[in-house]
Amino acid sequence: MLWYTGKRLLQVIPVLLGATFLIYFMVFAMPGDPIAALYGDRPPAPGVIEQIREQYHLNDPFIVQYFHYLIGIFQGDFGVTYSGQSVNDVLARTFPVTIRLALLAIFIEMVAGIFVGLISGLRKGGIFDATGLGVSLVLISLPIFVIGFVAQYFLAIQLGWFSPTVGAGAPLEDLILPALVLASISFAQIVRLTRSSVIETAGLDFVRTAYSKGLTRRRIVPVHILRNSLIPVVTYLGTDFGTLLVGATVTEGIFNVPGVGRTLFQAILRGEGPTIVSFVTVMVLLYLIVNLLVDLLYAVLDPRIRYA
């Protein structure tokens, strides 16, 4: 296990360097003068330009600039937003909200998805299964902002079950609707994954052995079938984390959730390049860390992985 952990950690380093380099390259090797963008139509005094260029290392060669940026990241400094706030401060304020939203969404999609997937898989070909597959196909086809607006209009504005936007401090009851919307995309995938995994596991020899030993269905289904079917679902959560981040950006924008996603959403709408880069970098780092954790968890759950 230790060897596997070490190997996996070493693999992250080139990916981390490569991904940050790519983001940096995309932004700063492309046409456009960042200082001109900062000042708009009225050009600043030449001395000011020189001072800013010096302050942000813009006179250095590209690769040196990249190292300044990289060192900043490793020191936990993600830069400043357009309005001059430290990205770290903004993160400290918005991050807890997004974490709450994401955890709520993951909880909903896991519980509902595994439940529906398990029943569909156990009653393959039945009405429940057919309905579940149909609904999941429709949910996969609906872009998240469509689901968001439809939910906001019908459930919140028309029926009044939920608050259409999230109030100050983001109380948990306001987050339920955005979390439902955020959960809906991955819910469909989890249903399908659990279903096919359950069908596969239920056909294996050890399940037949369990039945022939005279164990009850009540014990076989949760202990023998479900537990062994969950491994692909857990790994899916890792790869799906990217979708969750993008989904959170859109959902938080629609429901006005004061989280990381809305900050990015508003930065995109206002065209604030540096802020976008800072937040995308944070999200990519988060994505890499979550995937690393999921891979390690995978190795804990399935010994075949770490000895392979």
Partner 1 sequence: MPDIDTTTSKPQPGHYVAPLEETPLDAIDTIKAEGKPSNLWIDAWADLRRRPMFWISAAMILIIVFVALFPGLFTSEPPNSNCQLANSNGAPTDGHPLGFTRQGCDVWSRIVHGAATSLSVGIIVTILVFTLGVLFGAFAGFYGGWVDGLLSRIGDIFFAIPYILAAVVIMSVLADYRNVWVISLAIGLFAWPVTARVLRSEILRVKQSDYVTAATAIGVPRFKIMWAHVVPNSIAPVIVITTIALAGAIVAEATLSFLGVGLPSTFMSWGNDIAQAQTTLRTAPQVLLYPSIALSLTVFSFIMMGEVIRDALDPKARAQR
Contacting residues toward partner 1, per CB under 8 A: 11, 14-16, 18-19, 22-23, 26-27, 30-32, 124-125, 137-138, 140-146, 149-150, 152-153, 157, 196, 199-200, 242-243, 245-246, 249-250, 253-254, 265, 268-269, 271, 273, 276-277, 280, 283-284, 287-288
3-state secondary structure of 80: strand
The H or E element containing residue 164 is none
Q: Which is nearer to partner 1, 54 or 67 (CB)?
A: 67
Minimum CB distance to partner 1, residue 46 (Å): 25
Closest contact distance (angstroms) between CB of 187 and partner 1 is 15
Q: Which residue has the tokens 């149909």?
A: 134
Compare residues 220 and 254 and give the one whose CB is closer to partner 1. 254
Nearer to partner 1, 74 or 213 (CB): 74
Is 4 or 145 the residue whose CB approaches partner 1 more closely?
145
Structure tokens that stand for 292 in this block: 């690393």
d(CA 220, CA 227): 10
Query: One-letter amino acid identity for 28?
Result: F
Nearer to partner 1, 170 or 245 (CB): 245
Nearest distance, CB of residue 145 and partner 1, angstroms: 5
Nearer to partner 1, 100 or 124 (CB): 124
Torsion over CA of 301, 302, 307 and 308, rounded to 10 degrees?
Answer: -130
CB of 259 to partner 1, least distance (A): 15
Nearest-approach distance from CB 146 to partner 1, in angstroms: 4
Alpha-helical regions (H) of 60-171: 62-74, 87-122, 127-141, 144-151
| Interatomic CA distance for residues 252 and 262, integer angstroms | 5
Give the span between the Cα atoms of 35 and 44, in whole angstroms.
Answer: 9
Scored b (16 or more CB within 10 A) or e, 260-276 reads bbbbbbebbeeebbbbb
- What is the residue whose two structure tokens read 């994401």? 102
- Quote the least distance from Cβ 283 to partner 1, whole Å: 6
